[in-house]
Structure 1
Amino acid sequence: MKTSSIHLRLWLAAAVAIPAILATGCDSHDSVASSPPALKAPAPAPQAIHAIEPAKVPYRTTGPLVAEQQSDVAAQRDGRVVSISVGIGDRVRRGQELAALDDRALRTAVESHTAKLDSLHAQVREWESEEKMDSADLRRADQMRASKILSEEGWEHVKYKLDEVTSEVARYRADEAAAAADLKTAKLQLEQCHILAPFAGVVGRQSLRLAQEVKQGDVLFWITAEAPLRILFTVPESEMASYPTGAPLDLTSPGYPALHQPARVLRVSPVVDPASDSVQVIGALIHPSPLLKPGMSMQINPALSSEGHTAQ
């Protein structure tokens, strides 16, 4: 009986508590639903994006260093090499002998033609002297003929003798001229046996050896002057504005990374090559470094100003 009374009290307490809890939950829900919505922060205004154009990269190219005087030295006649006076790297002066071909036969020919010319020259002088005497005889014969002292037959004899001597003088003079021409040819051929430097410079290549048989036109040496040095290169037509006449250049070499050789555009071809759409440019080096040699390949860069723009 006592236990039943306890259960009854617990049931009544629960019946009272449940409605109160439900009422509290409803009030809380209404409070949340009635609260005003939170204000959102305004979205930031979009910023204008400016496109940054990349700086134009200066056009760079490569080209060889050249000297204004460079030349192949070829054999001017057939012959056998009997002496070589210089080698690669030797400096030579203008007219210096580089090599020689066998000239013994030609020296003999020159001596023979010289002797023949001397003989003919002496004979011409003798005939000219006789011509002078016969001319004087004819003048006297003319006077004697006019004075009726000399017969017509005698006068004709004097005249015929002078004509004969004059003819001999002309013949020997012609022989003398022919002998002089033969001697000149022989001397020229003799000179061609001696290979000479066409200008002062340095021997860049050598293509002969002792006792070698060479033919006319065979290249035996390549000579180049050492100064002034020029840089030779081509640029596309679209880049011509970067290389006007007088524009400064900066030359570099893979062999000497620290070297920056100043130069300036000396000449620009007025003609565009239609096959490559390019123009040829020649630059002059300013106080060339002694490290630079003709034939070296250089990279050509337009010189930049302090602001990083191509200097004009």
Structure 2
Amino acid sequence: KAENVGMVASMSLVNGVATYEDKRLDNGVVVATTANLPELTNQTVDFGEFLTDHDEGRFFAVIGPGVAEQLFGENVPIGKSIDFRGQRFTVKGVMTKFDSTPLVSGIDFNNSVFISYATGKALSEGNAQVVQILVKPAEAEGVDRTQASIESALLQTHGGQQDFSVLKQDETISAAGNILTILTALVAAVATISLVVGGIGVMNIMLVSVTERTQEIGIRKAVGATNHQILMQFLVESMVLSLAGGALGVLLALVINFVLRVTTSLEPVLSPIVIVVAMLMSLVVGVIFGVVPAMKAARKHPIDALRFE
């Protein structure tokens, strides 16, 4: 038995799809848990109440706001019934919207249906997959001792096989931070490669344009255009071309943003600052990769340019 254990909440995923009339919960999960989950995860109930100890083994459910929107729309779901694995569950509560996914195995509480742990175990015929057990120590200063005690108890239960991990809250936050750092680095690498590839594309297009307009360059120089004017002409064209590509990218991002909002419960945000930065980066790419074609155009001799075919 683990030492210094105060409050415990188990969570198991139960396979199946919850339905209400002709609507299916395609973007969500059913979680079997205990009554003290809200206290351990700092959740609150917006409507109704959460599961109680008296609900163990009974067919009651508490749903996240995303589930309420998917299945019930604008209607109040309290007292209504959802079907799951051949049983009818009465909705007794709706959770307050969680601003972000809690650090609990990646479960999106906004799109979860919560049923009692005993009910979930019975529906799964004892095979419910335990994804996490949350523990609050009885004494805050004994966290390390509690962690070691829990790990020892689980090792005995699992026959000495350590196919689990026991993490403190700060370790979980640190692990999530490391994952976020890695993802940020990967996104930055992909963005950099995309910028370079796009810049090379702009440069190639401008080089072809310079070649095709050689006689035009010769005529302009013959009537008095300076090297600087020719250079600026093609540099501006490169910048306009790059900005056009950036604008198309922003438009595509807005379309994807809209589609995700309509078809899923996700609410991606595309801030004005991101759009401004994207356009500025497009401008910079146009300048950097437009210099070589512009200089090539400016250095052409007017006589040779006029003779070019």
Q: Please tell me the TM-score bracket, short chain as reference.
A: under 0.3
TM-score by length of 1: 0.20
| Greater fraction of residues in strand | 1
Larger radius of gyration: 1
